[in-house]
Amino acid sequence: MAMAVPKLRFAPPQILAIGYAVLVLLGTLLLRLPAANHTGQPLPLIDAFFTATSAVCVTGLVVVDTGTFFNAFGQTVIIVLIQIGGLGFMTMATLFALVFQRRLSLRDRLLLQEAMNQGSVEGIVRLIRRVIYYSLAIEAVGALLFAIRLAFDMPLGRALYFGIFHSVSFFNNAGFDIFGDFRSLTDYADDPVMNLVSVGLIVSGGLGFIVLSDLADYRHKKKLSMHSKVVLSTTGLLILFGAVIILLFEWGNPGTLGGMDWGGRLWGALLQSVTPRTAGINSVDLTQLHQATHFLLLILMFIGASPGSTGGGIKTTTFAVTIGAMIAMMRGHEDVVFFRQRLARERILKALTIILLALALVIGVAMLLSATEGHDFMVVLFETTSAFGTVGLSLGLTPELSTFGKIMIALTMFAGRVGLLTLVYALKPRKTSEKFRYPEGKIIIG
């Protein structure tokens, strides 16, 4: 009698982690092909793995120049990986299921709930439909605007190709560009069209699809959820704060904003304030920024985008909840209140957990790399935070990383994209119910 083979059953967090890992593996194999680059030689395995991880995790850190090293096939592989990684492979799987009119099971809906960081499965398919519609519509508008502007500098067909690539990359907060020689947007530092479209795409992708859906319904409902209000207010304040501080620090720096007119300085400060959250493009030479500005960008990268978005970091809501908890404690209030609504204590503990896990990861990896890579600690910390926040901003360390350094940064990007709590839940054993609670004790804090 044949023995029955036990079925492997994975929890939603495990499936998400495995799914992203499979995407990275597939991307590595495709980018390693000689047909994917101009040299006609296979890309070294570690470099193909690093680039695929950066694309799937919508980061933008690169070890070879995307615009000059990869040909049209290689760049197409990268942009497809960015699109799937940015929207989430479960979103793309749902798209195919909807196209072929396949009914989604409860397990599928639970996976989507985990992928979109939702509290329940109610309305999850409707949200996924909106995610797809909004993403394609915003990317199409961005591609058209980019193409119109770039058509003044290059042939129309090339301008359209550049428009599509950069619209998808910027909306998904990926930071990949194909302008060549690691230039990013430095040639368009004071160009209002390129800056405005870039900022619009980055902010749209970073707000999160829940917020975009809420904004679309505002015309009928005439109100926003507390989540949307917190995301919008926090995002606006961070952009304004970052732009003002960058202007103050870099106004007279001849290597960055100091060499521009007042209009260029404003656009440069705005883009540099938006892009750490977590787009990874730049219009000024980052290595010429003052160290104080580097530290500001590091903080913005660590905070990142918003939940359910194409960006990474600890997320704006995590940051807002922690600040709210601190203010409530300082004022002697028992509850954390946003917009006349009380926040559950579980949410505060989750926010603190995410911040501590993120700090442990970033500091731990930075300490390791400072010992193995032989670079200034600020440069190493900047690169590590950029990887965790899936940002893609670099001070030039990434192409010089050792094999060990590339692996560590790639794993940091993966952790940042999948989500630290999702990764912890995927690795931990099954949850067991507690049979009893210990008596309460006291400990002195502060």
Q: How confident is the model at residue 55 (pLDDT cuts 50, 70, 90)?
A: very high
The mean pLDDT value for 270-286 works out to 90
pLDDT score at 107: 58
Q: What is the 3-state secondary structure (H, E, C) of the chain?
A: CCCCCCCCCCCHHHHHHHHHHHHHHHHHHHHCCHHHECCCCCCCHHHHHHHHHHHHCCCCCCCCCHHHHECHHHHHHHHHHHHHHHHCHHHHHHHHHHHCCCCCCHHHHHHHHHHCCCCCCCCHHHHHHHHHHHHHHHHHHHHHHHHHHHCCCCCHHHHHHHHHHHHHHHHCCCCCCCCCCCCCCHHHCCCHHHHHHHHHHHHHHHHCHHHHHHHHHHHHHCCCCHHHHHHHHHHHHHHHHHHHHHHHHHCCCCCCHHHCCHHHHHHHHHHHHHCCCCCCCCCCCHHHCCHHHHHHHHHHHHHCCCCCCCCCCCCHHHHHHHHHHHHHHHHCCCCCEECCEECCHHHHHHHHHHHHHHHHHHHHHHHHHHHHCCCCHHHHHHHHHHHHCCCCCCCCCHHHCCHHHHHHHHHHHHHHHHCHHHHHHHHCCCCCCCCCCCCCCCCCCC
Q: How confident is the model at residue 384 (pLDDT cuts 50, 70, 90)?
A: very high
Tell me the whole-structure pTM to 2 decimals: 0.87
The structural domain count of the chain equals 1
Cβ-proximal residues to 223 (8 Å cutoff; 6+ apart), any chain: none
CA 194, 196, 199, 202 torsion: positive or negative? Answer: negative
Name residue, tokens 């995590």: 318
Contact status, residue 253 vs residue 288, Cβ threshold 8 Å: yes
Domain for residue 444, yes or no? Answer: no
- Nearest alpha carbon to residue 133 among 171, 190, 90, 95: 95
Q: How confident is the model at residue 102 (pLDDT cuts 50, 70, 90)?
A: low
Q: How confident is the model at residue 119 (pLDDT cuts 50, 70, 90)?
A: low
More confident residue, 40 or 124: 40
Contact status, residue 175 vs residue 60, Cβ threshold 8 Å: yes
Q: Please determine, for residue 121, whether its predicted confidence score (pLDDT) is greater than 60.
A: no
Q: How confident is the model at residue 47 (pLDDT cuts 50, 70, 90)?
A: very high
- Nearest alpha carbon to residue 311 among 393, 375, 383, 372: 393
pLDDT score at 2: 46
Domain for residue 360, yes or no? Answer: yes
Q: List pLDDT tens digits, range 167-216.
A: 999 999 888 999 988 888 989 988 999 999 999 999 998 888 888 888 88
Q: List pLDDT tens digits, range 310-336.
A: 788 899 999 999 999 999 989 988 889
Domain for residue 292, yes or no? Answer: yes
Domain for residue 442, yes or no? Answer: no
Q: How far apart, in whole angstroms, are the C-alpha atoms of residue 204 and residue 215?
A: 11
Domain for residue 367, yes or no? Answer: yes
pLDDT score at 3: 46
Domain for residue 328, yes or no? Answer: yes
CA 375, 284, 386, 62 torsion: positive or negative? Answer: negative
| C-alpha pair distances (Å), 167 with each of 109, 163, 261 | 29, 6, 27
Domain for residue 152, yes or no? Answer: yes
The mean pLDDT value for 357-384 works out to 93
Host domain of residue 66:
12-425
Domain for residue 144, yes or no? Answer: yes
Q: List pLDDT tens digits, range 60-92.
A: 899 999 999 999 999 999 999 999 888 775 565
Calculate the average pLDDT of the chain.
85
27-36: list long-range contacts, CB under 8 Å, 24+ apart.
27/51, 27/52, 27/53, 27/55, 27/56, 27/77, 27/78, 27/81, 28/52, 30/77, 31/70, 31/74, 31/77, 31/78, 35/71, 35/73, 36/70, 36/71, 36/73, 36/74, 36/77
pLDDT score at 5: 41
